Structures are given as structure tokens and as C-alpha cells.
Amino acid sequence: MRSATAGFEFLLNGKLVRNNAVAPQVTLLDYLRGRGLTGAKEGCAEGECGACAVLFVGSAVGSARHPSVYRPVNSCLIPVPAASGCEIYTVEALAESGKLCDAQRAMAERGGSQCGYCTPGFVVSMFAEQFRQCDSGFDPHGLGGNLCRCTGYRPIRDAMQSLGPPPDTPMRRRLELPAPTVDPLRYETAEGRFSRPCDLGECLNLATERIARVAEDDAVQFVAGNTDLGVMTNLRHRRFRHLISLDGIPALRGFSDTDDAIEIGAGLTLTEIGDRWPGAPDFFRDWLRLFASPLIRNRATLGGNLATASPIGDAAPLLLALDAELVVSGVNGERTIPLHSFYVAYRQTVLQRGEVILSVRIPKPLPDFVRFYKVAKRRVDDISTVAAGIAIRTEESGRILTARIAFGGVGPIPLRVPDAEQAIADGDAERAKDILRANIRPMSDHRGSAGYRLSMACSLVDKFNWEYRKRGRQ
């Protein structure tokens, strides 16, 4: 570990920058703008608009020719010390030798910009998408995290679609070199601490040691992608005295797919999970696409989604339907917790103070028919109003052996409804809906009334039933 006052450094637009006085809560966006790099803008400060997008150089999976990839992320949701050891490019660096990059030129020529507030963010996402093409094709959802209030999306989409393969520039050749690896860090200013242990034991000791020395519950916080905590910091002005970053701990970054189980490191980002699991079943790929936007998925982790215990988080309904369990670790050792007993009350889990989720284990064989449904105000880049994971195991004759049905958004915690599961296993969707009506008590909020949520939950049962029967006839 470096000494507590050592400061940190990272590569910014190809130049090393060193810091030892910036408060740990300052966002990367504010830091960049304070240095005069004002291309990245603040539109929302909560990860919704993409105006603040910048590029991180990350590791690519499965390409020996291009071991690195540009990952666009929302700089408003990154505490500056989390950039320690990273390599970052802002929109200012994309016009190499003063010549507009393809994305910038295409946006100008095709009328993709009016007031221009969103434009740098779009250019950053487009650039990443163009340079990602070297290994796989153009993804039309690559711009899913960028919002524009005035131009309209057609010219922006046209600009994106006009781009060819990445040109042979220094920025492309950079991808032929490995991405930086993260180093341990201990950083402290008068405003707070930021630690990045790179060893699990050290992480757990650090958490316990600090918890013993401070009174407030939230004085010490694990942080992974910061896409939940960052919103609390920016919009609700929560300040954590000590953030312990989990991104350097190898024990949280494994992935394995064996005969018995799929085990996903809790510290992998959603993008990394997609990359590490190329053979993932369609239902999982669909789930991934519906989760936020690429800008969020490039930072958000599975462990963070489960630990934050939001009743409208998307991971829990699917993983509950898959009978997943969590491997967690604390100073007293490791334990395994079935996900269905993980949540105890609104935003509360059975995790003890200082315990960390190491991985999520999905038992195999996977169920025979699985669906994840998400009801939200927008199809992508939105949080669920109601979500459902439904899974069926059948025997060879086609007879249903077991069913699982789990919901988010219908109560204070994500939950399974065992009586409805039995009704679905019996092939009786009407009874399953009656059971839901009698048993679930959703809340009303700005996303949807209790009545709306209940009727959505019932209609998802109908949808599943219809899709399952249709499959049976194919």
C-alpha cells in the first residue's frame, strides 16, 4: 500500500496528472472541468444524460490483436480517486493533430447538433462504438445512454451509421497495447478517505478497523461502480467519510461456467459479464440489454446491484427465478446465502457490517424456459416500474417440474411468490394471478400507482403463459 498521503495519478489525454489535495468526493467531471477540459458537460449529475461522457481504456476480452477497448462512462458518477492508475480520454483528445475525428465530422456534416450541449457526450459514445467495431459489428444501442433535447435522434443516428471502420490513427494503435491494471491506493484529505485495497483480507480488515473507530453507520462504504452511491453523493449530498473501492480485488472479479454452476464475480461490471460469458443464454442477453445504458453498464457491477437492495433493481428478479445464491466474505469467514433469504426489509439485507459479496452462483442445469420482463417508462436507459423473472423446469415429457416467479417493484423488497409458482407449475395462470392479487401490496410512487403495478404483474404472468404455450406449439 502507498502511504496515506501519497496522492494518486492517472493518464489524462496521454499526459500523467498527479493529485494530492483534491477531496475524494469530487467527481471526475468537476475535476476535468476545473482543469479547463470543458467539453464534458453536466446535464443531470445522475447518469441519465451522457453529456459528461469520457473514455476509459479497459481490457478487451478475446482479442489478441486488440487487448484494449475504449469504454465510455459517465464522469459525473466517478469519484476522482477512482481514476487512480487509469487511462482516460476526454472529447478534447479525439481531434488528433487538430483534425476532427470521424464522429465529430459526421455530427457536423449530418446536422447532429443544435445547441451542442449533448454533442461532446454523443461524440465520445460514437467514437467508442466506432473503435469497438474492430472486433464485432456496430451496436445500434451504443448511444443508448446519451440524451438530446433539441436535435432529434435521426440525424444523430445517421451520423453514427455513416461511420466506417476505425481509421489507422494513434488512438486506434493504442488499442494494440494492454490496458492499465489498477494499483492499491490509500488516499486521505481533510474531507475524507478513499482506499483501494488489492487483496481481500486487507479489504475486510480495513472495513472492520474503520467501522470499529467511527460511530455513524454510513461512515465507511464499499464502493464498486458508484452508479448508485454517486447519485446519493451528487443529488442527496451524502458524504461518506471513507470509501473502500472494490475494483482492485481479484476475488471479486472471477467468472466460471462449469457443469455445476455459473459463478459471476460480484465486482465485474455488467459489460464485463457480457464479455466474459459469450455463450450466455438469450434471456440473460435480453436482461443485460434492458439494464440502464452502456455508459452505466461500463461501471455498474452485479454485486452493487444486489447489495444496494433496491426493490426495483433488475438483477434480483432474474436471479431469484434462477435460484441463485451469494458467496459473501467477512472477517469471520465465508458463507453462502440463498438470494431468496438475502433481503429482509426495504433497502436491508442480511449482510453483516464489513461483509462483502464475492460472487453470485447460479446453479446448473439452468431452467428450461426463462423470461425476464421489465416494465419501464422508456424501453432502455430506465429503471423498472415492475420487473419479473419467471423460470420453468420441465421433464423430458414436457411436464412442468418446478416454476419460479419473482418480482421487483411490487413491495419493499424483491420477492418470490411461492403459491403463485405452484399455480404456474400446475399450468393455471388465472389462479396464479388471483394469488398475486391477494398477496402482493405494491406501493404507489411517481413511477406507477399500486393498482398499475399489480395489474402489470398480472399481465406479465399472462405474457409468460402465452410465450410458454406458443413455444410448446413450435
Ligand X SMILES: Cc1cc2nc3c(=O)[nH]c(=O)nc-3n(C[C@H](O)[C@H](O)[C@H](O)COP(=O)(O)OP(=O)(O)OC[C@H]3O[C@@H](n4cnc5c(N)ncnc54)[C@H](O)[C@@H]3O)c2cc1C
Chain contacts with ligand FES (rule: CB under 6 A)? 42-45, 47-52, 74, 76, 113-119, 148-151
Q: Which is nearer to ligand X, 112 or 267 (CB)?
A: 267
What character string, x for contact with ligand X (CB under 6 A) and - otherwise, covers 210-249? Answer: -----------xxxxxxxxx-x--------------x---
Q: Which DSSP string do the residues of 452-470 spell out, in sequence order?
A: HHHHHHHHHHHHHHHHHHH
3-state class (DSSP) for residue 72: strand
Other beta carbons within 10 Å of 443: 15
Nearer CB in complex with ligand FES: 43/265: 43
261 near 361, Cβ under 8 Å?
A: yes
> What torsion do the CA atoms of 335, 336, 340, 342 make, to the nearest 10 degrees?
30
Please report how close the Cβ of residue 299 comes to ligand FES at its closest, in angstroms. 11
| The three grid cell numbers given for residue 411, joined into one nine-digit string | 413491495
> Which of 41-49, 52-60, 98-106, 281-289 is the region at the interface with ligand X (rule: CB under 6 A)?
41-49
Contacts to ligand X from residues 351-410, by CB under 6 A: 356-357, 383
Stretch that binds ligand X, among 45-53, 88-96, 117-125, 334-342 (CB under 6 A): 45-53
Residue 70 amino acid letter = Y
Which listed option, ligand X, ligand FES, none, makes contact with residue 150 (CB within 5 to 8 Å by class)?
ligand FES
What is the grid cell recorded at 455? 395489474
CA distance 193 to 73: 23
Which amino acid, residue 8? F
Starting from the edge strand earliest in sequence, which strands make up the sheet with 386-394, in order? Answer: 369-375, 386-394, 400-408, 415-416
Write the binding mask 261 to 290 for ligand X: x where contact by CB under 6 A, - elsewhere: -----xx-----------------------
Helices 429-439, 418-425: axis angle to 10 degrees equals: 170
CA 54 – CA 72 distance, rounded (Å): 5
Closest CB to ligand FES among 55 and 76?
Answer: 76
CB-CB contact of 388 with 373 (8 Å): yes
Binding-site string for ligand X from residue 306 to residue 325, where x marks contact by CB under 6 A and - marks none: -xx----xx-----------
> Which of the ranges 87-95, 102-110, 298-306, 437-445 carries the binding residues for ligand X, by CB under 6 A?
298-306
Q: Which does 114 bind (CB under 5 to 8 A by kind): ligand FES, ligand X, none?
A: ligand FES
> What is the contact surface with ligand X in residues (CB under 6 A)?
46-48, 221-229, 231, 246, 252, 266-267, 291-292, 296, 299-301, 303-305, 307-308, 313-314, 356-357, 383
